[in-house]
Each structure stands twice: as C-alpha cells, then as structure tokens.
Amino acid sequence: RDIIAEYADFDSAVYAPVTRLGRHPDKEAQKFDVGPRGAAPAGSLQGLAELERTLPRGLASSAVPKAKPRSLKPRSTEERKAISLQADLERSQAIVAQQKAEATLRKTQGLPGAGAAGAAAATTLKGAAAKLGSSMPAWRTKVMRADRPPTPIIERPEEEAMLEEQEDVAMAVLLLQRLLRGRAIQNTMFEGKERRKHLIVELRAEAEQDAEEMERPTTAAERAALAAAAADTAGGEAVSGLLDFLGKELVRREERGRLAALAAQGNELRRMREAEEAGRRQAGRALRAREDEVFRQVVRAHHGTAKTFVEESVHDSIDQTANAQAMRELQGHPNLASVLAA
C-alpha cells in the first residue's frame, strides 16, 4: 500500500471510502452537530420566524451604498472621436424617435373618436424622445417649438389620390433637379473647354502636323539624306563599339600591368625578407655553436678540476691511512722498529 500516493490522489478511498467495504463517512455524524438543542428546525415556519426575531437588524439590511460608475475622460483622439460619434448617433436616434412620435400623433388625431387617447400617446412618445435626448448636452439638443397640433380630419379617397399625385410631383421635381445639376456640370465643362481652346487647338495642330509629315511622300534628296543618316548611324554604332572595346582592352592591359608590377614588387620584397631571415638564422646558428663550444670547454675544465681534486684527495687519504697503519704496527712490534732503524 502506497499511503503517500493515496493521500495525494483525492479520488482515492482515503477521502471517499467505499460503502460496501463497511466504511461510511457520514456514520453517526449527528453527534458532531453544534446546533442549538431544543430549538425549532430552521426549515419550518416557526423556526424561520424565531430566526428573524433573534437576528440583529444590521444583518437583515445592507447600508453599503451602490457604487456609481466612474466617468472616464477620453485620453486619445480615437476615444474623443468615438464619444462624439456616439453622441451624434444618440441625437439622431432621439430625432427619429421624435419624428415617429409626431407621425403617430398625427395619425392618432386623424382617427375619429381618438382625441384624448391620441394626445396621451403623443405625450408618452414625446416623453420617451426627451429621455433619449437628455443624455446629450443642451447645445447639441434640438429644441422643438410648441406648435399647435393639427386639427383632426377624416381621410377620404380624394385625399389619398391627392397624396399619390403629390408623391408623383415630388419624384418629378427630384428628376428635374438631377437634370438641372447635370446640365450645370456640362456647362462648367464647356466653359473650361472654351477658356483653354487655344491650347487645345495648338496641341491638336502639332499632332496633325506630325501625322502629315509621316504620311507625306519623300523626295530624292530627302531619301539620300535619310540613307546617309542611316549609314552614318550604322558606321557610328560600329565605330563606337570598336572604340569601346579598345578602351576597355586598354584599361584591362593597364590593370594587368599594374597587377604584374605589384606582384614583382611583392616577390622582390619577399626575396629580401627571406635573405634577411637566412642571415639572421646563420648568425643565430654561429652564436649557438660558439656558446656550445664555450659550454663544452667549461664542462671539460670542471671535470678536470674535479678529477684532479679527487685524485689528490685519494692520494692524501692513502698516505694518511698508510702512516697510521705503520705507526700502529710499529707500536705493536718494537723489534721491527729496531730492525728498520738499523
């Protein structure tokens, strides 16, 4: 059993034991209840009344004021344009709503027996339009004049025909206005053409003259001149091409000569540097040979000195040892000393 893994997994039997295994998480849970004993249950009417009576007044009402939306000032040109556009749209909406209200008022007043109801509806619609426009500043709000409402009349078929005729007349007037505007633009274009007439004639005359010169038949002299010009052009192209080639070849040769001179100068400089380096190397080898010879002679002298010193030391030691040995033998054999003395 991995106890750490079971406690790390919130879906394990540690947090949600299986009931069929004999473990119930809510077994005898009522003994942990800390509620009041003997009181009426909160789910009944008596319990709710008791709870409402015992609760403080401050818990039943909230004295926290509602936060007012903070008006953010525009900080950029885009935000100012957006706010201005929103104000224009609201103003347009208010005007449209007001016009609809007036139209509804006129229709309502025109019906028989609808005087008071029509007036009430008009008043309601006007109030709605005023509410829509109240959010805009006063200098941008259109102030409507207090006009006398139209007198209610009964519509008749003749009036409907008259309205249709008026619509046809309005359409005809619009068409006439478009025609007049188009004619005015045509007149403006004609006046501009008349003011620049001399320039237009001059440009057309030059174009016509060029066309006439191209279409006019040429004479023998002109043909000869054209042939000579063509021959000169062909010869000039050939000569110019040849001169261009020769000029480029000369530049190439000069460049090649300059590069060859630079290469020769570089080779000479390299040869001189190699000679100097060879001289320095030879001098270095001679110096090293002389230093090696000096070192060998010094070592040879040291070896000779050491050898001589060792030989003399050995001879002295031998002499001292022999004298000491002879003295010991003479002291041990007195007869030998008398024999040597005789």
Residue where the block lists tokens 């106890």: 3
pLDDT digits (tens, 9 = 90+) for 18-40: 777 777 666 666 665 555 555 55
Query: What is the pLDDT confidence band of residue 139, given thresholds at 50, 70 and 90?
Result: low
DSSP state for residue 150 in the 8-state scheme: P
pTM for this structure?
Answer: 0.25
Query: What is the pLDDT confidence band of residue 215, given thresholds at 50, 70 and 90?
Result: low
Query: What is the pLDDT confidence band of residue 43, given thresholds at 50, 70 and 90?
Result: low
What value, to the nearest 5°, has the Cα angle with vertex 258 and ends 256 and 260?
70
Concatenated DSSP letters for 98-147?
Answer: HHHHHHHHHHHHHSTT-HHHHHHHHHHHHHHHHHHHTTS-GGGSPPPP-P
How far, in Å, CA of 133 to CA of 127, rounded?
10
Residue where the block lists tokens 């001679």: 286
- Least Cα distance to 146 among 102, 93, 181, 182 occurs for 102
pLDDT digits (tens, 9 = 90+) for 290-333: 999 999 999 999 999 999 999 999 999 999 999 888 888 877 77
Q: Determine the distance from the C-alpha atom of residue 138 to the mean position of all C-alpha atoms in its chain, rounded to a whole number.
A: 45
pLDDT digits (tens, 9 = 90+) for 222-264: 788 888 888 888 888 889 989 999 999 999 999 999 999 999 9
- Least Cα distance to 102 among 160, 134, 142 occurs for 142
Which helix or strand (DSSP H or E) is residue 283 part of? helix 220-332
- Least Cα distance to 88 among 130, 133, 144 occurs for 133
Q: What are the tokens at 22? A: 């004999």
How far, in Å, CA of 59 to CA of 62, rounded?
7
Judge contact between 118 and 105, C-beta under 8 A: yes
Mean pLDDT of 272-279: 93
Q: What are the tokens at 269? A: 């400089």
Q: What are the tokens at 300? A: 């040879």
How far, in Å, CA of 325 to CA of 331, rounded?
10
First to last CA, the chain: 120
Mean pLDDT of 72-96: 83
How far, in Å, CA of 219 to CA of 243, rounded?
35
Judge contact between 129 and 160, C-beta under 8 A: no
